[in-house]
């Protein structure tokens, strides 16, 4: 019996020794050289990236369990921008160290205006042969500063967060700097989505026309009573047969509402080509979780070249300005939002 116990202890000791040696060699051989100070391996499962500049602007993008990416724990991320970032992290390479004469000046710039980049990936505390991993964790694998692009456009100055040696880093096949990939501004990373709700997620919709109050209405969706349409006075419209087909069509129009471009800080300094600071209509949507989204529409003056000016329109007939919950102004297309910009009379059979 004692021999059996000793044999089991010996086997367990050997297993523990194998695991310890495996962890040791994995960590010791993963220390990056110059070529790997910034680039990450193609097999790395990047879980989040944090970008921050010296002015306090910070962007945190994180990968959720379903594979989507979230900005600052709240907003959906523009996937083309994320793909550009990951492609750059996987492909960028070191061309050469910066000369001693230039390094002092470049280091000063990195300390005062550099963008800090922190990359995290899913790593396992224990890895065994056969690519078997145990105890996953979120681990920081890169921490570096991004400086200015080279004057000749052949790369970008970078250095490790705790180092003083600066390198010229470039993206093979691209004859330009790569600093713009790491800019920590929310509007660059945020998905240009105004609203996306399926019919079953909508509780109520209120439309308010400033110049045509009689066409304003409120549409309520109740799981028991069904859909009710009220006029601007809060009454059921009399002498008006409501088209159920149009009701269904209208509810489906809120699935994918997106804008073209967001203007950061414009809530305090509105765009110069705003026709009027008074909105011509508002759309207020409440979902089944009681979250309210207010979309406010503003007319825009025609382009300066005069190509869209006519006797019928003193405003841009193609694009308008949109505000979401009184936030920054965004440029949007009428044809995208036209399906939700319906008057009360449109619902008549």
pTM for the whole structure: 0.71
Query: What pLDDT, on the 0 to 100 scale, is given for residue 129?
Result: 65
Its sign, for the CA torsion 20, 22, 28, 31, is: negative
pLDDT at site 270: 94
Radius of gyration of the chain (CA): 28
Fill in the DSSP letter of residue 65. T
Are 194 and 259 in contact, with CB atoms under 8 Å apart?
yes
What pLDDT shows up at residue 84? 95
pLDDT score recorded for residue 2: 55
- Name the one residue in this structure whose structure tokens are 């088209």: 243
Q: How many CB atoms lie within 10 A of CB 194?
A: 20
How many of the other CB atoms lie within 10 Å of CB of 66?
A: 5
Backbone phi, psi, residue 253, to 5°: -75, -10
Is the separation of the CB atoms in 47 and 40 below 8 Å?
no
> pLDDT in tens for each of the 349 residues of the chain?
555 455 555 556 555 555 444 444 443 333 345 667 899 988 888 999 999 999 999 999 999 988 899 999 988 999 999 999 999 999 999 999 999 889 999 999 999 999 999 999 987 666 666 565 666 778 899 999 999 999 877 899 999 998 889 999 999 988 889 999 999 998 899 999 999 999 999 999 999 999 999 999 999 998 888 899 999 988 988 778 899 999 999 999 999 899 999 998 899 999 999 999 999 999 999 999 999 999 999 999 987 655 555 445 678 999 999 999 999 999 999 999 999 999 999 999 8
Q: CB of 144 within 8 A of CB of 159?
A: yes
From CA 119, how far away is CA 89, in angstroms rounded?
9
Q: Shortest CA distance to 88 belongs to which of 25, 156, 159, 24?
A: 156
């Amino acid at each position: 019996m004692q021999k059996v116990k000793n044999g089991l202890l010996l086997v367990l000791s050997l297993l523990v020794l194998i695991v310890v040696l495996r962890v040791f060699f994995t960590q010791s051989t993963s220390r990056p050289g110059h070529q790997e100070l910034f680039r990450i391996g193609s097999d790395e499962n990047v879980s989040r990236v944090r970008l921050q500049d010296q002015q306090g602007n910070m962007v945190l993008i994180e990968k959720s369990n379903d594979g989507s990416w979230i900005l600052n724990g709240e907003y959906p991320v523009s996937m083309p921008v994320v793909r550009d970032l990951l492609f750059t992290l996987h492909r960028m390479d070191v061309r050469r160290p910066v000369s001693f004469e230039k390094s002092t000046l470049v280091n000063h710039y990195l300390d005062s205006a550099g963008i800090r980049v922190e990359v995290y990936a899913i790593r396992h505390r224990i890895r065994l042969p056969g690519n078997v991993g145990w105890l996953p964790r979120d681990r920081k694998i890169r921490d570096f500063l991004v400086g200015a692009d080279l004057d000749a456009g052949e790369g970008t100055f970078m250095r490790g967060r705790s180092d003083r040696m600066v390198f010229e880093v470039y993206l093979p096949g691209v004859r330009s700097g790569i600093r713009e990939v790491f800019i920590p501004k929310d509007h660059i990373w945020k998905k240009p989505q105004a609203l996306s709700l399926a019919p079953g997620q909508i509780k109520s919709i209120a439309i308010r026309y400033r110049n045509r109050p009689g066409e304003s209405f409120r549409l309520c969706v109740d799981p028991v009573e069904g859909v009710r349409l009220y006029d601007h006075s809060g009454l059921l419209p009399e002498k008006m047969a409501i088209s159920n087909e149009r009701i269904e069509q209208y509810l489906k129009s809120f699935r994918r509402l997106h804008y073209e471009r967001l203007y950061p800080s414009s809530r305090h300094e509105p765009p110069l080509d705003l026709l009027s600071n008074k909105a011509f209509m508002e759309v207020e949507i409440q979902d089944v979780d009681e979250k309210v989204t207010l979309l406010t529409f503003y007319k825009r003056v025609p382009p300066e070249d005069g190509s869209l000016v006519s006797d019928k329109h003193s405003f841009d007939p193609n694009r308008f300005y949109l505000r979401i919950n009184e936030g920054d102004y965004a440029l949007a297309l009428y044809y995208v939002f036209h399906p939700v910009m319906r008057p009360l009379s449109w619902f008549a059979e």
